[in-house]
Homo-oligomer: A and B are copies of this chain.
Amino acid sequence: MDILQVAKRANVSTATVSRVLNGFPGVREKTLARVRRAIAEMNYVPNPNARSLRVGRTRLFGLIVSDVNNPFFPELIDAFEGLASARGIEVIFTHTNYDPKRLHNCIRRMIERSVDAIAVMTSEVEEESLRQATKAGVPVVLMNQRKLADKYPNVLVEYETGFREALDHLLALGHREIGFIAGPQWLNSAQGRKEAFTSALRAHALHVKNEWIATGDMRVEGGRAAMEKLLSLKQRPTAVLASNDLMAVGALQAAHAAKIRVPRDLSVIGFDDLPIASMVHPALSTIRHPRREVAARAFECLQQIVQGEEIRGWPPLQPHLLVRDSTAPPARLRPGAISRR
């Protein structure tokens, strides 16, 4: 079942079979048919290792994310994999569990597998790890790594747009006291989100009130704790934005536990639009992170580099607000009081 058998059966040389296989022009119609039939009859499939060995390309892309278990990623993976498979490219896939050391390993492994390109869709990236890829001649694309934006192709997402829309919405509802649940500032993405939030605040001529910014761990638990802190304040915000949906869900839980009703007594807005955002009660208003588009751009970008095309620069992607049920006009009660109807 190698190409030679097919060649024999079709009474041609291996070269001709190869030409048919790869759609090269200049094979007579009749020969073509004969070869095709032979291929079909033997249901022959070419050996990808032999092919890659010779050609130097594997049609294999690497995809690295932070954490499969984080519901942010599945959609991104899905989109990336879908595009790849439509183009006959296979994806090998790993995750770092947020550990930069593991990123190093992941990249090494992928290079050893001689992937054609790597999409590093993690929140944290150390340049050192990327250098391996550069050295090995494997193109890389990153997600939202502004610090490395001039050195590596980068799919950018303009968080600020999302926050502005969220603030527009809250202001329109009448909110003026707006809190924020940030993530740990050593986390790249968390830092970016916080900066985007404060920047959006200023753009709306609101000033940043530090005690209204609590910090969580980007997970549900941390969001709950952060919200508890905000709720314990003498004067507390009437609306709270969270850096991600998981923390927003935690915030909802904290509010519920404190018998503060969302959205009547408090408005909450998340970020990302995870599937859970629409499953919790009340359904969470949130800023949709365009992760399918991120995946698509990342893929396309790699594809272009691999094919030696000019890589196109894109404007950053824009996240947009999705209004669901967790926002309403503020209660305007005296500070600390709890609405009972």
Contact = CB atoms under 8 A, between A and B. Distances in A.
Interface of A: 45, 47-50, 52-53, 58, 60, 68-69, 71, 73-75, 77-78, 81, 85, 90-95, 109, 111-114, 220, 249, 252-253, 256, 275-276, 278-281
A109 B94 CA distance: 20
Contact of A114 (B48, B94, B281): B48
B91 A78 contact: no
A92 B95 contact: no
Nearest to A52: B49
A98 to B, nearest CB: 13
Contacts of A278: 220
A85 B112 CA distance: 13
A60 B112 CA distance: 13
Given A49-B53, A60-B92, 10 more contacts: A48-B112, A49-B52, A50-B53, A73-B74, A78-B95, A85-B94, A90-B113, A91-B92, A220-B279, A275-B276
A206 to B, nearest CB: 30
A52 B53 CA distance: 10
Contacts of A81: 68, 93-95
Copies held by the complex? 2
Contacts of A280: 279-281
5 nearest A-B pairs in the assembled complex, by CB-CB distance: A49-B53, A49-B52, A68-B74, A49-B49, A68-B78
A275 to B, nearest CB: 7
B95 A93 contact: no
23 contacts: A45-B111, A48-B114, A49-B114, A53-B53, A68-B74, A68-B78, A69-B74, A69-B75, A69-B78, A71-B74, A71-B275, A74-B74, A81-B94, A85-B109, A91-B92, A91-B93, A220-B279, A256-B281, A276-B276, A276-B279, A279-B280, A280-B281, A281-B281
Contact of A47 (B68, B114, B276): B114
A281 B53 CA distance: 55
A215 B49 CA distance: 48
